Structure 1
Amino acid sequence: MNYKNKITILMLSLLLVAGCRKGFLDTVPDNITTMKDIFTNRSMTEQWLARCYNSMPDMWDQPYANGWSGQCDEADYAWVQPGMNSGAITPDNASPNNWNPYYQTIRLCGIFLRNADQNKEIQEQPNGVQLLKQYKAEARFLRAYYYWLMMKQYGPVVLMGEEPAEASANFQIPRSTWDQCVAYVLEEMNKANEDVPVQHMNPGNPSEVDNTQTGRINKAVIAAVKSQILLFHASPLFNGNTALANFKNADGTVLFNQTYDKERWKAAADAALAVIQINRFQLFKVTDPNPFMAGFLSYRNLFFDGYSKEGIWIRSNTANGQWERHCSPRASNGNAWNGIAVPQESVDVFRMADGKAITDPTSSYTETGYTTTGNIHYVAGTNNMYVGREPRFYVSVTFNGSTIPVIATSGQTRVEFYFTGNSGKQGSARDWPSTGYTARKNIHPNTDFRNNKSTARPAMMIRLAEIYLNYAEALNEYNPADPNILTYLNLVRQRSGLPALTGGTQEEMRKHIRQERQIELMFEGHRYWDVRRWKITDDAASHQGGQFHGMNIEGGTTLSDPAFHKRTVVFTRAAWNNKYYFYPIPQSEIDRNKKLVQFPGY
């Protein structure tokens, strides 16, 4: 692994950022700026810490930087086809390649931890000693968090230790085992927890939350991330996975534990409960006399208004605008790209309004005929398969006949995905969804592309509904008789307008919990990882390779044309291969570090 010193470039970047402030560092010529200059100057030290935050992923930056939805059964991107989908992924072309960028940021965090104590200017501020401890704790957490992100993508990683090594150091270092990696990141996060605040309060008014610090690490964020880590650690891919017995370092060290440990589920449940017991967050709800509308508005507006109540870790700077433009149909006012498609496999997981699955023989679901009445979700003439579905369906998916999710082009009243329709394949060289559906969630209804009107809002990297589902899942695996499984699962279901479940076997509850995660967290960056950690990637109901279905986008000349409303194989991905559980490490790193083993299959 190559860890050449990037300090000159980093210092130049810092100076460019600071350059907008007149007179900044006027007395320090750029060509002699040193590490001591940076870490004795409060502003530059804080800028360095800010750079440690810069690599945080944004779940709405799709399909490019964070395109995990397009590599699983959630979405298909019109412009980007990751190599995993075609089977062409190799150690030379795997994208996104986060191996080097995350290690570079891990090094930034380490440099901050080593040098921050030099900053007397910070320490001389009121409460400055504690503030510097907080800064170091943030850097310590972030360093551990980037390791965690790498572990999800690449499996066991190389732990570099406390001190950032010089370029001349020996970087012939093997992977640590999975258990060693988990123990390390949890230990580092526990250390960080000691010196971060419960909340970031306004220095001028300590009783008031400082909203300018949104996204900064606090105790709740750390607790929530630990809940994620321990849930993964307990899951089948990581807990006694004998299928990975031959994944070893060159010295024979087996990198994944081979003995199932039920107590990991207890640890995961306890970690989720610890977040719940913070008692500062609540599921966002909108009241309405109509229970269906209450569920619809609660889930839809969650992403516009609910972050202050439900959001545990919030990202203030996010790519909402790009997401909206990529997903919105061409019938939108302005230049919408109409290209993040939803496979039929994901459409079918949404239940009916009464909570029944569409496959339930007693449900009202039918794909025959067309409705003669419309509402705020769809117009008359829409196929009956889209009628009477649960509220989150109408929040999450745009379908043929649905109302336009944003400000519409003048004269347009509905989305038409059939071949000759206003958002159909005939009208554009590439701006059309492969499946006849596009993603709709987190698209604000007041967005107007032509007039550049959008509604600013942050993103929730972790929210309370996820933690409830973490808790229910871990409890179900550890103690299926625990009544809290139903309690917390039903809290999420009922918020969205579904009736409460009354019980079931462990396997039945497992199915409900997994389906609930698939629906509730759709497009938020979970599904890709969930199907892997559960080891269900090749199951018929959650297959990640092979044929995927949608409507027949090559057919149809009217809204109610049966030629369009045919389940059709719309794209085929490479058959599932077990090497897809993890990404390959870049070949250049394998070539440099002779002790670094590649994941089997690449």
Structure 2
Amino acid sequence: MITKYSKYILLTIAVSLGSCSKFLDVVPSEVVTEDKVWANINTVNGVLAHLYSKLPTGLDGNGQYISDQACSTDEAIFHWYAGSGSEQYNLGAWNSENNPLGNWEDRYQDIRKANIFLEKIATVPIPAEQSSKYAVLIPQYVAEARFLRALFYFELFKRYGAVPLITRSLDYTDQGQYSVARNSTEEVVDFIVKECNEVAGQLPEHHPDAELGRANKGAALALAARTLLYAASPLFNGNTKYAGVVNRDGKVLFPQTYSKEKWLRAAEAAKKVLDLDYKLFSSSDPISSYEKLFFTRDWQETILPYNHPNTKMIEQYHLPYGGAFRGWSHYSPLQELVDSYEMKNGKPITDPSSGYVTTGTWSGTMVGADGTGSSVTLTNISNRYKDRDPRLYATISFQNSMWAAARTKVPIRLAWWGSGQAYGTNGWPMQGGGTTSISGYTIRKWCDPSVDIGNWYTSPDARRNYPIFRLAEFYLAYAEALNEYNGKPTAEAFQAINAVRARVSMPALPILASDQTLEGFRKRVQNENRVEFAFEAHRFWDVRRWLIAETVDNGPVHGMNSRPSAEELKATGLDVNSQEAGLAVFYKAVPLQTRVFQTRHYLMPIPITELDVNRQLVQNYGW
């Protein structure tokens, strides 16, 4: 949109797709023109396929590892090398000229492609023998493209708030067309929701298996519901910090009056999703009922998936280093995330009556503890990990936990002692390069227990998708919106949050007296979102819309003491090369990084290059 962007980029990308390979066999790519693309329904199908390739995903590297968003909040730290996008965010070292997660230009390019598609699709000649087929498909294609355009606008909205709404392809040779002011956040929200509601009835409720991953009715209603939930949240609902962000003609871009009714709209939209025929995924035991959702191609809870290629790379990047695991453990979950998982009695570990203790160890059996759904014997587990929410065990590996491997089963050892790897620890600090886990934890979520990295060529690749929308989100959205609208949780709000908790056998709320208050239930919903969607790229946005990032993403973050100094080990009086010495100093929280989050960071700055091109644009607060 705002950038100089040739319409021919769309065409050269589109015709490179597999669906157009036969066409390219006879037409060199350098002579493909706009007229030729829009004269062939097969190449037009490729244009739509290219739009789908731009769906947002919470897994980076084409589905190989968790996103920078998960490492730019209080979930994890990426420690493999310095200078990553997440490190820039965590240190506050990003701005309008350098924003690794900004995506302004790319999203407007995607929107332009969608606009061109919508303008051209009606003119595409259809062979007579295919006329009845495309009489049905073309209206559906139009609905899909409108949905995708709305989703691209939501991606801009959650980053920048008020953005220009462009619903036609602009002439890139006419610079006057690019002088466009920002629409207000309410206009952007209304546009997204209107588009979704209108196309929902034109999209199929479900696609055949061969077309899973295409937009359906549920996806349209889900996008509307998520958008309205964000719009009702404190970031966008009467945030007086943004009073001075106005267009050059004085137009107010962020509503300055809080509206309770926005929560009602969000609740009603979430309920529409809940009334569809999706259901929460479940399996044989509480751990598996959650865990298996993330290494299978699930279609019962997942409303819209991003289907990543089959791969073993998630296991490679996330599993512990060395031994039977052979992972790289590039990512370290933070103690703050571990501490957010409740006890199995439903009480936070900070509650004095929860039963949480940090001293001593536990040995016993646990069903699903190694990812297979079978009963597994665990030994010498710190009591701090005993009797916790099953989602902890499905999401994070800790000292002496287990993980299935085709060749052998051994405990995961993330404490460090002696010279590291030579002494049997999976927490080995590498020399002259990256390093394995620095927090005493590794990521288990997303990993498939049938994958054996040590037998790379014979072990199967995992088949998984990233759920852009899944049903659990809308149970929690419904609960949150009802609580905020009514000033306290209602019976329906409890039913909604308890549906998500019941999947993993967590006890129903209310449990504490505070659960029945506005503030107490709000904390419950926020924490339920945190543990349910860990490493799914939700938390980064949630803490912003809730206006709590200045607390949770500011200051030191912690892990276990998995990098003790030689002096610490020596001070134990034990053999410094023994596991006993490493464990003697391991179980204490130590700071890993001091993070910076300022008030201006809640919204991203419009890129300075866009402000230079389009003089109608005004900058966001604080930038």
| Change over 3 Å in CA distance of 1:345–1:320 after alignment to 2 | farther
1:382-403 deviations in Å (ceiling 9; x for gaps): 3221122221110011111111
Q: Paired residue for 2:585?
A: 563
One-letter amino acid of the structure 2 residue matched with residue 327 of structure 1: H
| Change over 3 Å in CA distance of 1:25–1:92 after alignment to 2 | closer
Once the 2 structures are TM-superposed, how far is the Cα of residue 587 of structure 1 from its aligned partner? 1.6
Out of 483, 491, 516, the residue aligned to residue 483 of structure 1 is: 491
Q: Distance in 1 between matches of 2:108 and 2:121?
A: 20
Matches within 5 A, 1:411-422: 412-419=410-417, 420=420, 421-422=424-425
Once the 2 structures are TM-superposed, how far is the Cα of residue 20 of structure 1 from its aligned partner? 7.7
Q: Paired residue for 2:237?
A: 239
Q: Distance in 2 between matches of 1:148 and 1:435?
A: 34
Stretches of structure 1 that go unaligned for 5 or more consecutive residues are 201-209, 288-293
Once the 2 structures are TM-superposed, how far is the Cα of residue 177 of structure 1 from its aligned partner? 1.0
One-letter amino acid of the structure 2 residue matched with residue 478 of structure 1: Y
| Change over 3 Å in CA distance of 1:167–1:601 after alignment to 2 | same
Query: Does 2:84 align with 1:83?
Result: no
Q: Paired residue for 2:179?
A: 172
Q: Distance in 1 between matches of 2:249 and 2:323?
A: 59
Q: Paired residue for 1:207?
A: none
1:82 aligns to what SS in structure 2?
A: helix
Q: Paired residue for 2:167?
A: 161
Q: Distance in 2 between matches of 1:522 and 1:592?
A: 39
Question: For the Cα contact (< 8 Å) 2:558–2:593, is it kept in 1?
Answer: yes
| Change over 3 Å in CA distance of 1:600–1:450 after alignment to 2 | same
Out of 511, 532, 537, the residue aligned to residue 549 of structure 2 is: 537
Q: Paired residue for 2:314?
A: 323
Query: Does 2:523 align with 1:515?
Result: no
164-173 or 28-37: bigger deviation? 28-37
One-letter amino acid of the structure 2 residue matched with residue 572 of structure 1: T
Out of 585, 605, 610, the residue aligned to residue 589 of structure 1 is: 610
2:434 aligns to what SS in structure 1?
A: coil
Stretches of structure 2 that go unaligned for 5 or more consecutive residues are 371-376, 570-577
> Normalising by the residue count of structure 2, what TM-score does the alignment of the two structures yield?
0.88
1:345 aligns to what SS in structure 2?
A: helix
Q: Distance in 2 between matches of 1:372 and 1:240?
A: 52
433-442 or 325-334: bigger deviation? 325-334
Question: For the Cα contact (< 8 Å) 1:61–1:319, is it kept in 2?
Answer: no
2:615 aligns to what SS in structure 1?
A: coil
Once the 2 structures are TM-superposed, how far is the Cα of residue 30 of structure 1 from its aligned partner? 4.6
Q: Paired residue for 1:441?
A: 445
Query: Does 2:368 align with 1:371?
Result: no
Question: For the Cα contact (< 8 Å) 2:324–2:409, is it kept in 1?
Answer: no
Q: Paired residue for 1:70?
A: 71
Matches within 5 A, 1:139-538: 139-170=145-176, 171-200=178-207, 210-278=208-276, 280-287=277-284, 294-305=285-296, 307-317=298-308, 321-331=312-322, 333=324, 335-373=326-364, 375=366, 376=369, 379-403=378-402, 405-407=403-405, 412-419=410-417, 420=420, 421-427=424-430, 429-452=433-456, 453=459, 454-479=461-486, 480=488, 482-502=490-510, 504-538=516-550
2:303 aligns to what SS in structure 1?
A: strand
Once the 2 structures are TM-superposed, how far is the Cα of residue 444 of structure 1 from its aligned partner? 0.9
Question: For the Cα contact (< 8 Å) 1:3–1:167, is it kept in 2?
Answer: no
Q: Distance in 1 between matches of 2:248 and 2:312?
A: 47
Q: Distance in 2 between matches of 1:366 and 1:464?
A: 34
Question: For the Cα contact (< 8 Å) 2:197–2:221, is it kept in 1?
Answer: no
446-455 or 37-46: bigger deviation? 446-455
1:572 aligns to what SS in structure 2?
A: strand
| Change over 3 Å in CA distance of 1:20–1:120 after alignment to 2 | closer
Q: Paired residue for 2:572?
A: none
Q: Paired residue for 1:598?
A: 619
Q: Paired residue for 1:204?
A: none
| Change over 3 Å in CA distance of 1:276–1:120 after alignment to 2 | same
Q: Paired residue for 1:54?
A: 53
One-letter amino acid of the structure 1 residue matched with residue 446 of structure 2: N
Question: For the Cα contact (< 8 Å) 1:331–1:412, is it kept in 2?
Answer: no
| Change over 3 Å in CA distance of 1:105–1:321 after alignment to 2 | farther
Q: Distance in 2 between matches of 1:596 and 1:99?
A: 13
2:304 aligns to what SS in structure 1?
A: strand
Query: Does 2:104 align with 1:99?
Result: yes
1:308-334 deviations in Å (ceiling 9; x for gaps): 211111222258744332211113646
RMSD: 2.4
| Change over 3 Å in CA distance of 1:390–1:414 after alignment to 2 | same
> Normalising by the residue count of structure 1, what TM-score does the alignment of the two structures yield?
0.90
1:380 aligns to what SS in structure 2?
A: strand
Question: For the Cα contact (< 8 Å) 2:305–2:465, is it kept in 1?
Answer: yes
Q: Distance in 2 between matches of 1:65 and 1:353?
A: 27
1:15-45 deviations in Å (ceiling 9; x for gaps): 43359845x3666565543322211211100
1:337 aligns to what SS in structure 2?
A: coil
Once the 2 structures are TM-superposed, how far is the Cα of residue 5 of structure 1 from its aligned partner? 4.4
